[in-house]
């Protein structure tokens, strides 16, 4: 199913203004530049610590029983009826941002959910060869620690984290542990090669991502895998084996090209929510369209 979602058939003024503001600002680094790469290498070798600002603003804590880089956000009222296992985006190179934590607190509060956030190893120091076994191990430990039932578990992720969700589903195919009841992806990175020619017609509308720069990061992340391997480019996976998947995407996002490509396939278990003229991972932005998307999410995981 493909749903076109808009507010009164037009983009909100906040979303329009935000795009104009961020367009001239280089918010996303080009890691092909030597000085950027060297800093990214140092950052990826440095153990992650939760920012103090996040500790003060959100109901978040480290889950030491799992590991030193897994965190849990709880509803402000501490009433929990379900679990969201969330894999954050960042091109497999960058750590979660304050925008992630703010959105995840909203998800926790609105859905009476604990949100588990494993901050997985990052490139360029680490690759898919490290990340995939880590995330499978972390998922298993999370399920066992909280005794989570499949019916109360939703797998979510954005951008690279969305792709990683689909990689995790493939790893879980032969596991006996509880599987997610539902999978919800925001602006997922489905093909790390960025080889879809339709991306070029979207590039001028996308103020955040660059096709070639992002493909470079994907190639480094792939490690020993070919860039078209389903475990790193899950657009090539068999979606019929997955639980229900819901994908949220904006059309001012180069990654929308592969979302559209996937939507042309016969996958009855995949639903698409397309937001015209919205940017990459718009669900984290302070715009009405984000609130609309999160309200749909609430409906999807109310069971």
Does CATH number 3.40.50.1820 belong to domain 2-300? Answer: yes
Q: Round to whole Å and give the CA distance between 118 and 45.
A: 17
- Is residue 69 within 8 A of residue 99, CB to CB? The reply is no
Q: Which helix (H) or strand (E) holds 71?
A: strand 70-73
First to last CA, the chain: 20
The pLDDT value recorded for residue 25 is 83
**Percent of the chain clearing pLDDT 70 (strictly above):** 98
- Is residue 117 within 8 A of residue 148, CB to CB? The reply is no
DSSP code, position 58: S
pLDDT digits (tens, 9 = 90+) for 1-31: 676 676 667 899 999 999 999 998 877 888 8
Q: Round to whole Å and give the CA distance between 181 and 85.
A: 11
- Is residue 149 within 8 A of residue 135, CB to CB? The reply is no
DSSP code, position 180: P
pLDDT digits (tens, 9 = 90+) for 254-288: 999 999 999 999 888 999 999 999 999 999 999 99
The pLDDT value recorded for residue 4 is 66
Q: Which helix (H) or strand (E) holds 256?
A: helix 256-263
The 10 Å Cβ neighbour count of residue 216 is: 17
Pinpoint the alpha helices (H) of 23-73.
34-45, 52-57
The 10 Å Cβ neighbour count of residue 47 is: 7
pLDDT < 50 regions, the chain? none
The pLDDT value recorded for residue 302 is 81
The pLDDT value recorded for residue 252 is 97
The pLDDT value recorded for residue 125 is 98
The pLDDT value recorded for residue 8 is 64
Laid out side by side, the sheet with 70-73 consists of 2-4, 270-279, 245-252, 182-186, 153-158, 82-87, 113-118, 70-73, 60-62
Question: What are the sequence ranges of the domains in the chain?
Answer: 2-300
The pLDDT value recorded for residue 6 is 64
Q: How far is CA 144 from the centre of its chain?
A: 23
Where residue 70 falls (left for φ over 0; alpha for ψ -120 to 50; beta otherwise) is beta
């Amino acid at each position: 199913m493909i749903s076109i979602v808009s507010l009164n058939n037009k983009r909100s003024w906040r979303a329009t203004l935000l795009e104009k503001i961020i367009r001239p600002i280089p918010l996303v680094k080009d890691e092909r530049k030597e000085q950027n790469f060297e800093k990214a290498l140092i950052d990826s070798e440095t153990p992650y610590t939760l920012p103090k600002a996040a500790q003060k603003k959100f109901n978040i804590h480290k889950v030491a029983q799992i590991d030193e880089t897994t965190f849990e956000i709880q509803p402000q009222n501490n009433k929990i009826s379900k679990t969201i296992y969330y894999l954050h985006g960042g091109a497999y190179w960058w750590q979660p941002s304050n925008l992630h934590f703010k959105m995840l607190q909203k998800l926790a509060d609105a859905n009476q959910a604990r949100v588990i956030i494993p901050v997985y190893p990052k490139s360029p120091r680490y690759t898919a060869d490290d990340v995939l076994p880590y995330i499978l191990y972390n998922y298993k430990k999370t399920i066992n620690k909280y005794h989570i039932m499949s019916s109360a578990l939703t797998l979510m992720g954005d951008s690279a984290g969305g792709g990683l969700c689909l990689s995790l589903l493939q790893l879980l195919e032969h596991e006996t542990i509880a599987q997610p009841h539902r999978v919800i992806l925001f602006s997922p990175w489905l093909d790390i090669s960025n080889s879809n020619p339709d991306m070029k017609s979207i590039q001028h509308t996308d103020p955040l991502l660059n096709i070639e720069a992002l493909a470079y990061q994907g190639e480094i992340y792939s490690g020993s895998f070919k860039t078209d391997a389903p475990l790193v480019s899950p657009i090539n996976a068999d979606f019929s084996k997955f639980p229900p998947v819901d994908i949220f995407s904006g059309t001012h996002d180069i990654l929308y090209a592969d979302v559209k490509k996937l939507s042309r396939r016969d996958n009855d278990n995949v639903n698409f929510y397309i937001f015209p003229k919205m940017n990459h991972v718009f669900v984290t932005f302070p715009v009405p369209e984000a609130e609309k998307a999160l309200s749909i999410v609430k409906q999807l995981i109310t069971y």
